[in-house]
Structure 1
Amino acid sequence: MRKLVVIFSALLVISCNSKEDYNTYKSIENGKWSSKNKIEFIVNNADTISSKNVFINIRNNKNYEFSSIFLIGKIEFPSGIKVVDTLEYEMTDAAGNWLGTGFTDVKENKLFYKEQVVFNETGDYIFNIENATRGISDIEGNKPLQGITDVGISIEKE
């Protein structure tokens, strides 16, 4: 019983020291991400002092056919200011092995989006993530991106 109390106490201390401010995912229906399907997250901010890192989290399975992924990230500040970034991330190493974590067919990639940012306005920040990955024969982006199962955003204090 004493060991159980010690283990529980340790887990409680670890969970209370988390640097994570926000972490959520949205599932992609049938693992097919259309270029028209913009994933939106609304994050309420009250901390205008702390420096934070923002990550885009992507879960993919073996049906993902590319070695990298191109994304468009948009942040709308409470005041209406918008910041738009075109992003590229590697999904495999040079030998074609999946990057990310996970022991099953699903791999999770935690990708840096913004580093050491201070959200200096209180209120709701709107994050939009859309895929911009295209095959050679799909310049218009009409073919859904296969193998992306979930897209998420996480924000952590420095």
Structure 2
Amino acid sequence: MNRLCRMMAAAGMLLAAASCQPLKMETYEKNLDIPGHEWAYATKPVFEVTVQPQDTAYLYNIYVNVRHKDSYPYSNIWLLVHTQFPGDKPVAQRVELPLADVSGKWLGSGLDDIYEHRIPIQQNAMLNRVGTYKFTFEQNMRQNPLPDIMNVGLRIEKAGLRKNEKAIP
């Protein structure tokens, strides 16, 4: 019994030591609800991503997640994506997110009358500054509020090492 207690204590110390280390960003994903499933101009979901020194050696793929009802009346959605790098002012970029093909068939995965999309907006992006990056999404369609949008989200996943970079442990 005494040996078992020592082994458990050692395992607990290892877990505690590991939990003090900064986590490397493999994937960031967060989805936010759109109030009443009607996305008004005034609703601007914000996503904050903290980049540690070891994260700056990598390239990242950035996606927008959209979840909507089958009754959504358009085949796309236009967004203003405001990106703020650590220490800088936000920069806006207008992005089209295709949700349906030319025949009107939804491109995302569906269950019952709800469809989900993960749409790439930037491949091999560099997050080469340590600190907090802020992404703000603003719907940029002519209709306000935009009906039947349930959730919107941000996904950032590691794409690989930048050229001529070595991973920082």
Output the TM-score relative to the length of structure 2.
0.75
Rg larger in structure: 2
Counterparts of 2:116 and 2:155 in 1: how far apart (Å)? Answer: 13
Number of residue pairs the alignment of both structures matches: 133
Match of 1:21 in 2: 27
Counterparts of 1:90 and 1:109 in 2: how far apart (Å)? Answer: 9
Instruction: Flag as ranges the 4+ runs of structure 1 deviating above 2 A.
Output: none
Counterparts of 2:101 and 2:126 in 1: how far apart (Å)? Answer: 32
- Check if 1:33 corresponds to 2:39: yes
- Check if 1:64 corresponds to 2:65: no
Counterparts of 1:67 and 1:38 in 2: how far apart (Å)? Answer: 21
1:63 Cα deviation from its structure 2 partner: 2.6
Match of 2:103 in 1: 95
1:81 Cα deviation from its structure 2 partner: 4.0
1:103 Cα deviation from its structure 2 partner: 2.2
Match of 2:156 in 1: 155
- Check if 1:106 corresponds to 2:114: yes
Q: What 5-or-longer segments of structure 2 have no aligned partner? A: 1-24, 160-169
Residue identity opposite 1:31 in structure 2:
H
Contact 1:20 1:154 in 2 (8 A): no
Contact 1:101 1:108 in 2 (8 A): yes
Residue identity opposite 1:153 in structure 2:
L
- Check if 1:127 corresponds to 2:135: yes
Over the matched positions of the two proteins, sequence identity in percent amounts to 32
- Check if 1:79 corresponds to 2:87: yes
1:79 Cα deviation from its structure 2 partner: 1.6
- What is the RMSD computed on CA atoms of the aligned residues? 1.4
Output the TM-score relative to the length of structure 1.
0.79
Counterparts of 2:122 and 2:62 in 1: how far apart (Å)? Answer: 5
SS at match of 2:106: coil
